[in-house]
Structures are given as C-alpha cells and as structure tokens.
Amino acid sequence: MATTYDYEEAPATYDEGRHQDLGYDPNFVPDSVKSFVVHLYRHIREKNVYEIHQMYEISFQTLSDRLFKDTPWPSVDAVAHYVDNDQVFCLLYREMWFRHLYARLSPTLKQRIDSWDNYCSLFQVVLHRVVNMQLPNQWLWDMVDEFVYQFQSFCQYRAKMKNKTEQEISLLRQYDQAWNVYGVLNYLQAFVEKSNIIQILKQEKEGLEQFTATDGYDYSGGSNVLKVLGYFSMVGLLRVHCLLGDYQTGLKCLLPIDISQQGVYTSVIGSHIATIYHYGFANLMLRRYVEAIREFNKMLLYIYKTKQYHQKSPQYDQILKKNEQMYALLAICLSLCPQVKLVDETVNSQLREKYGEKMARMQRYDDEAFVIYDELFSYACPKFITPSAPSFEEPLVNYNQDAYRLQLKLFLYEVKQQQLLSGVRTFLKVYSTISLGKLANYMEVDEPTLRTILLTYKHKTHAVDSDGKIISNADVDFYIDDDMIHVVESKAVKRYGDYFLRQIVKLEGVINDMDRIKLE
C-alpha cells in the first residue's frame, strides 16, 4: 500500500520559505530535545512503560509549549544520530512530529502526504515484523485516533478543489494513493486481523486469556503493541464507518468490545469518549433512541465525575467539546423519545440548563423546531466525508459539505415523519380510553388519518434491535379494540428486590459495628 517515496528535506520549497520567516531551522536541536529523545529511546528499549508515558504525556507537551509553540519540532534527520539511527524510533518520532504539526500549524499538502507515508512505514513494521516494545495505551490510542483524524482532515481538504493551486493539483494527481480510503480501512482491518484480538477477547470471556485484566499489557516478556493497536482499530473502524454514513457496519465492527463493562477502551479517556460518542450517534441514526440515551447518560455522568482529573491533560479541550456534543445529541434523542427516567438526575439537571428551552421548542414540531433540530445535529454530528477521489475537470468545485448535507437531510426527514406523534402523546397522557371518533375530532383530522397517525406512533416507537427483536421505547402506549383506544398506564415499577438486598447488607453492617463496640 505504501509508496516508496523516501522522506527528504526538500530544499528551497515553499515549506522552507515559510518556515524561514518564522525563524525555524529544522536542523537545530536544542539541548532539551536532545535529552528528550535520548531518554525516550532508552526507556523504550528498556520497556519502561511508566517512564515512556510520563515523557510522552508530560515532557513532550511541556517542550512543545515552551519551544515549539508555533513551529515544528526539529526534523527527524537532525535527531536520528542521537538514537543510533534506530528505524522504529525515527518512525515513532515522526508520528509525534506530524501530530504536533497538525495540532499547532496548518499542514501543507506535501506534509499530509509525508505523514501518510510515515504511518504506512510504521504500520508495516508493526504488522510484518516482530516488534518487541511495550508502549503506553495512551500513545497507541493516539496513533489510531490521529490516523483516522488525518484521514478525515485530508478528505475535507481534498474536497475543496475550487482554490487549489496548480502545484497542489499535480501533487494530488501524482500521489493518489495517499490517504486512499481503501488504504485506511485495510490498515485498520489488518490490525484487527493480525492481532487476533477478536479471538483473544472471546477466549478471555471463557477464562483462557488475559487481556483486559492487564490493560492489554504483556507481562510475559512480549509486546502489547500489535494487540492493543488491533483493539483500538475496532474503535477506529467504528469511527470511519460513521464518517461514511454506514452506521450498521460501524456498530458491527465494535461488537467484539462489550461496552457494558470496563475494558481497555476505558483505560484511556479519549478512547472511552470516542467509543461511546460514535456508538450513541450510530444508534441515534438507527432509531434505537433508548440505547443511545442509556450510553450517553452513562458517559456524561462519568465525565462529570472525573473531568477535574484531566484538567492539565492535553486532551482536556477535546473532552469538553465531546461532552457538549453529547449533551446536544442527548437533547435530540430525548425530544424524539421522551424517556426522561432513563437519565440520571445530575445529567438531567445539566441538560435542562443547556438545552431545556430548546427541547421544549423541539417537541412542538413546528417550523422553529426543525431549525433547532438542524442546529443541534449540525453542531454535534461527526465530520462526514466524501471518500471518493476528486474530479479534476473544470470547473473545480467545493464539495466538502455534500456528505454532511445528505446525513442532515435524511435525519430531518425522519424527524418530519415523527411530527404528528407529539400531539398524540399529549392526548394519550390525559385519557384512559377514548373513541377514535372523539380523538379525531380533538386532533382535527378525519378517522382514517387518525388511524395512520396511530400506526405511525406504534411503528416509530417500536424499534428493531440488533438481534431483530422488537423493542418498545414508548413512554405512553395504547392498543385499539375496534374503534376504542385504550391507553396503557406505564406505572413506575418499584424495584423491591434491589431495595431489600441493599437494606439486608446495610443492617448486617450495622450489627457488625455494634458487635465490635461491645467487645471493646
């Protein structure tokens, strides 16, 4: 898949010209950077995961903030001789180099292509050679996450053909394999397959393997890199499929990971959030609103309780952004499927604060409501992409919004079909029985129309789950006997069993405490 293009310091290109303006010399290596690479190289050779993690998370950020606020790090050629010209270390260094570039600066087309080449080389090493390293999960997650992010960024960049220069167009034509969608998907798939991660997770359930228990790390002298990259690639595949609009397959890719439990995906906050965000979004588009609400609720509660611990982390801004987006998606789900009892009190009060008013307006299903659905969806949705190669024919156009517009249009279409359901709910909540004739009168429609509205209500509130079973997500339900509607009261079911269990344990605790006092 990789082109055989070797990375060179291209002399006197527009890159270097721009960098010279900023006083950037790719060959200048400050002492702190020399020290950084030397120590990081040593820790990697000695498989000291804790130290690697500290350097990766903290030192790299500190140096970036101090020395490389708006310039790239020194080039890999400049640091290579400090690390025995080790091929793999250089690939890892370049991976960090490009990630820093994307985060702080705007990559040129050439740099995008070079980054793709670097990923290819790095991934080829992991897939086809025996790698004897242990890297922190944070880093391995960031690799997959960044890989997908750069792919998405490239697709968006490439889709804006209108103002491309001659040079850019000729580069795009020449390097048409760079960030090719087949390449991206096949690398992720290759990681999943080569690592045998699906089998490992299956066998773990039967107690024949250890993976989650060790957070994916290998304590018998081996390497965690391929296994954990394979694991995170499943999340990567979910993400790419969501970007393409294929929610069904995305969820299928995630299936081997049991999200009702803790797992390696929860060992890194970024991975946890990315998994649940995309899982929830896919379920929303599949009309499985209850499932989406449940998972968003759990995730938002978790972020609420733990975000203080991530304040200093470089991922903090991303965490906050995804938090806000999930609240918006939750608002959408609850407006389409009003099951407030599924939401934790803490999350609910945050939701009311952020979107209380908007949710009330959404449930009115008038023109204004659609504007708000549009607004929230557009704010919270993934950055959909058009994966196909661009047309180089005149006139050159920008088509980077096409994918997003299609998903939005189809989403709003679904919302429109549910327009009349809100009115039905209001009436059903008030009556225990009512004749079709009377209700038709109140709703100002004729009887046949009312029958279709009631059928729509039933169809839309009874989703098909992943096993093909029908699941009701209706908050208020009914059945029709000839021409009488009988409303079904959904009582809040008291959970006596759980209550008694808790009290039994509590009482036992109190008795034990009392016994202890007597003995003293």
Residues 460-519 binding other proteins (CB under 8 A) are 460, 462-464, 468, 470, 472, 477, 479-483, 488, 493-498, 501, 504-505, 508
Residue among 214 and 417 whose Cβ is closer to other proteins: 417
Residue from 170, 417, 426, 441 that binds other proteins (CB under 8 A)? Answer: 417
Residue among 86 and 344 whose Cβ is closer to other proteins: 86
Residue among 286 and 290 whose Cβ is closer to other proteins: 286
Residue from 234, 254, 329, 454 that binds other proteins (CB under 8 A)? Answer: 454
C-alpha 272/C-alpha 164 separation (Å) is: 37
Given a contact cutoff of 8 angstroms between Cβ atoms, the answer to whether 131 and 226 are in contact is: yes
The residue range among 155-163, 203-211, 366-374, 445-453 that interacts with other proteins, by the rule CB under 8 A, is 445-453
Given a contact cutoff of 8 angstroms between Cβ atoms, the answer to whether 118 and 7 are in contact is: yes
Long-range contacts for 209-218 (Cβ within 8 Å, ≥24 apart)? 211/264, 212/262, 212/263, 212/264, 215/137, 215/264, 215/267, 216/137, 216/264, 216/267, 217/49, 217/134, 218/134
Residue among 13 and 87 whose Cβ is closer to other proteins: 87
- The strand pairing partners of 462, in sequence order, are 472
Residue among 193 and 204 whose Cβ is closer to other proteins: 193
Q: What are the structure tokens assigned to 170, written together?
A: 């000729």
Residue among 71 and 195 whose Cβ is closer to other proteins: 195
Residue among 73 and 247 whose Cβ is closer to other proteins: 247
Residue from 27, 32, 87, 398 that binds other proteins (CB under 8 A)? Answer: 87
Does residue 11 belong to the site contacting other proteins (CB under 8 A)?
no
The residue range among 73-81, 164-172, 374-382, 406-414 that interacts with other proteins, by the rule CB under 8 A, is 406-414
Given a contact cutoff of 8 angstroms between Cβ atoms, the answer to whether 365 and 412 are in contact is: no
| Distance separating the N- and C-terminal Cα atoms of the chain | 75
Size of the residue set binding other proteins (CB under 8 A): 71
Does residue 246 belong to the site contacting other proteins (CB under 8 A)?
yes
Given a contact cutoff of 8 angstroms between Cβ atoms, the answer to whether 59 and 36 are in contact is: yes
Q: Which residues of 227-237 are buried (b: 16+ CB within 10 A; e: fewer)?
A: bbbbbbbbbbb
- The strand pairing partners of 487, in sequence order, are 478
Amino acid at 52: I
Could you tell me the smallest distance in angstroms from the CB atom of residue 35 to other proteins? 20
Could you tell me the smallest distance in angstroms from the CB atom of residue 383 to other proteins? 15
Does residue 38 belong to the site contacting other proteins (CB under 8 A)?
no
Given a contact cutoff of 8 angstroms between Cβ atoms, the answer to whether 332 and 377 are in contact is: yes
Residue among 22 and 464 whose Cβ is closer to other proteins: 464
Residue from 103, 255, 360, 410 that binds other proteins (CB under 8 A)? Answer: 410
Residue among 430 and 455 whose Cβ is closer to other proteins: 455
Residue 207 backbone dihedrals phi, psi, to 5 degrees: 80, 15
Residues 293-332 that bind other proteins (CB under 8 A): none
C-alpha 451/C-alpha 483 separation (Å) is: 10
Residue from 43, 239, 272, 287 that binds other proteins (CB under 8 A)? Answer: 287
Given a contact cutoff of 8 angstroms between Cβ atoms, the answer to whether 77 and 25 are in contact is: no
Residue among 29 and 282 whose Cβ is closer to other proteins: 282
C-alpha 514/C-alpha 156 separation (Å) is: 67
The residue range among 144-152, 299-307, 328-336, 401-409 that interacts with other proteins, by the rule CB under 8 A, is 401-409
Residues 352-391 that bind other proteins (CB under 8 A): 387-388
C-alpha 292/C-alpha 334 separation (Å) is: 10
Residues 17-36 that bind other proteins (CB under 8 A): none
Could you tell me the smallest distance in angstroms from the CB atom of residue 186 to other proteins? 5
Residues 91-130 that bind other proteins (CB under 8 A): 125, 128-130
Could you tell me the smallest distance in angstroms from the CB atom of residue 402 to other proteins? 7
Quickly list DSSP for 242-293. HHHT-HHHHHHHHTTS-TTS--GGGSSHHHHHHHHHHHHHHHHHTT-HHHHH
Torsion over CA: 148, 149, 150, 155 (sign): positive
Q: Cβ–Cβ contacts within 10 Å for residue 241, how many? A: 21
Residues 252-271 that bind other proteins (CB under 8 A): 252
Residue among 351 and 454 whose Cβ is closer to other proteins: 454
Residues 192-231 that bind other proteins (CB under 8 A): none
Does residue 458 belong to the site contacting other proteins (CB under 8 A)?
yes
